[in-house]
Amino acid sequence: MLTEGTGDAGSTGAEPSHIPVMRDRITELLGPALREPGAVVVDGTLGLGGHAEALLAAHPGLRLVGVDRDTTALERSRARLAPFAPRVDFAHAEYDAIPAVLDGLGISGVQGVLLDLGVSSPQLDEAERGFAYARDAPLDMRMDRTQHRTAADVVNTYTAAELARVLREYGEERFAGRIAAAIVKERSAAPLDSTRRLAELVRDAIPAATRRTGGNPAKRTFQGLRIEVNAELAILERTLPAAIGALAVGGRIAVLSYHSLEDRITKRALAALATDTTPPGLPVPLPDAQPELRLLTRGAEVPPEQENERNPRAASARLRAAERVREGA
């Protein structure tokens, strides 16, 4: 969800300094489904509202439902989208709650869904949020600051085996066991509560030869902890079928991922519903086995090089999109 640049980090104004990742391409992909007056699009990860602003500006008859778990993001997007206020509904919720949000608004089907995954630039840039390893801050990492569990809770209460699993599965960290053991040893003296202290601990636990390449050695550990704290992958696995189920026939979904774990889940979910499941050997395709989705992207699309130069945080983005062509069984 690296949708905005660093210039907005300390502002609650409506004018961020960078445009959202792949804004024009997303607007293009969702556009055919949003042209008719009264169309509804759900931005399930509203952030600062950059994608939402572009969609609302492109389609004067469009209604947008903006969902985000981060209350600060909702406040900022509300300011940014003020010119479109009569056409926007805001909801503080995780994106797997899209069906419940729509039900509460009396909406039975939508023409578009956008999911821009991961952590947003303001969350990274505001040190007190505890997402960044480059500056010292409390070990927090909560996207929704109304929830209780923080990264400090994870590093100070999980067993070594549980920590190693989190770092290996969610951070894709080769040295998960070594780092987990170092954390457990360190916290026996005093609780770990600082991002800088954790980053230094990770650096010291990784072999020196490995530290010389691949960027900050704490990057994968922080990713793993963030995903665990916010249950990101579990929520995404629940969200995709729910979001697709909310689409009317002809509706479209676009998903921006920022690491291979998110992209793999998205690819699997879209591909499963874009496949004819008629058993082999039957003379004709079964109507109920026909695909529900038509893929709109060949594999995962990436940002153009000019965008990566303007916003280096966009470089890891992967975009997949699909159109609903049939009601589910």
Q: What is the pLDDT of residue 126?
A: 61
Tokens for 300? 């995962």
Report the chain's C-alpha Rg in angstroms.
21
70 is in an annotated binding site: no
116 is in an annotated binding site: yes
Looking at residues 70-87, what average pLDDT do you find? 94
b/e map 223-242, b = 16+ CB within 10 Å: bbbbbbbbebbebbebbbeb
User: Which positions ≥6 away from 167 have C-beta within 8 Å?
Assistant: 173, 176, 179, 180, 220, 221, 224, 225
Neighbour tally for 295: CB within 10 Å: 16
- pLDDT-based confidence at 144, cuts 50/70/90? confident
Over 80: is that where the pLDDT of 73 sits? yes
**209-265, pLDDT tens digit by residue?**
777 666 788 999 999 999 999 999 999 999 999 999 999 999 999 999 999 999 999
Least confident of 78-87, 191-200, 309-318: 309-318
Looking at residues 169-175, what average pLDDT do you find? 95
Residue ranges and CATH numbers for the domains of the chain are: 6-122+232-324 (3.40.50.150), 125-230 (1.10.150.170)
**By percentage, how much of the chain surpasses pLDDT 70?**
89
259 is in an annotated binding site: no
Q: Give the residue, 152 or 146, on which the prediction is more confident.
A: 152
59 is in an annotated binding site: no
Looking at residues 73-82, what average pLDDT do you find? 94
Q: What is the pLDDT of residue 285?
A: 82
**88-108, pLDDT tens digit by residue?**
999 999 999 999 999 999 999
92 is in an annotated binding site: no
Residues pairing with 295 in the sheet: 322
Over 80: is that where the pLDDT of 329 sits? no
7 is in an annotated binding site: no
pTM for this model (two decimals): 0.88
Looking at residues 25-40, what average pLDDT do you find? 97
**35-49, pLDDT tens digit by residue?**
999 999 999 999 999
Over 60: is that where the pLDDT of 314 sits? yes
